[in-house]
Amino acid sequence: MYPRTARTTAARDRDRISYERHAAHRILDEAYHCCLTFVVDGAPRALPTLHVRVDETLYLHGSTGSTPLLAARGPDGLAVCVAVTLLDGLVYARSQFHHSANYRSVVVHGTARLVTDPDDKRRALDALVDKVGPGRSADARPPSRKELAETAVLAVGLDEVSVKSRSGAPIDDPADLALPYWAGVVPLRTVADPAQPAPGVTGPTPAYLPGVAPEPAAVPAAEPAAEPPTVPQDTP
């Protein structure tokens, strides 16, 4: 369990909040993108970006010239809040007030620090690439020194973490249950279509990409049937 802090304690809908470590990990690992929020020069900023979790550290990808990366260069790092949401369904209630959504979300509060060690930076970038396809980092050209210099990685420790979720049917007021309006849930899910090769690609599509059928198992050649034994016939 993650410890509850003043910043991760909910002001309302407290029954939907948890601090379960494995639940937070599952959501962070399933989601491909997050929203990084911070304050620079007294103004709030929000930046959608890619992330990957490695143990108890969240790594965020960005450009060395972007605002949060520049702000995180200082010795104190950059105070941030990272939000990840997976939308699982639209909830239709009999009343407008009780319309809602089924979702799973994680909010992380912490201090983002720039990853400067070259080896740590390469490992974080490998993890980001492998998240979109297990083994993909070994199946693509590694970054050059120039590309590494142009790419920045932020690290945020998973210390202040909360999970919030909703599931199930709409919660209508008892007085509304007899109303003639439809109520229920429309489930939502992310589905990957078959991979589309780029122009000029001649090799096979990697098996870890969606829409690639597994190779059929080899079927051993059947042995020829044995000749039936010859039965001698009596001649008349």
Query: Residue 148, CB half-sphere, CA atoms under 13 Å: how many?
Result: 17
Ordered DSSP codes for 101-148: EEEEEEEEEEEEEE---HHHHHHHHHHHHHHHSTTGGGGSPPPPHHHH
Per-residue pLDDT tens for 44-100?
Answer: 999 999 999 999 999 998 777 677 767 777 778 899 999 999 999 999 999 999 999
Q: 32: which residues sit within 8 A by CB, 6+ positions away?
A: 50, 131, 132
Cα pseudo-dihedral 200, 151, 111, 36, rounded to 10: -40
Q: Check: CATH 3.40.720.10 for 14-167?
A: no
pTM of the shown model: 0.83
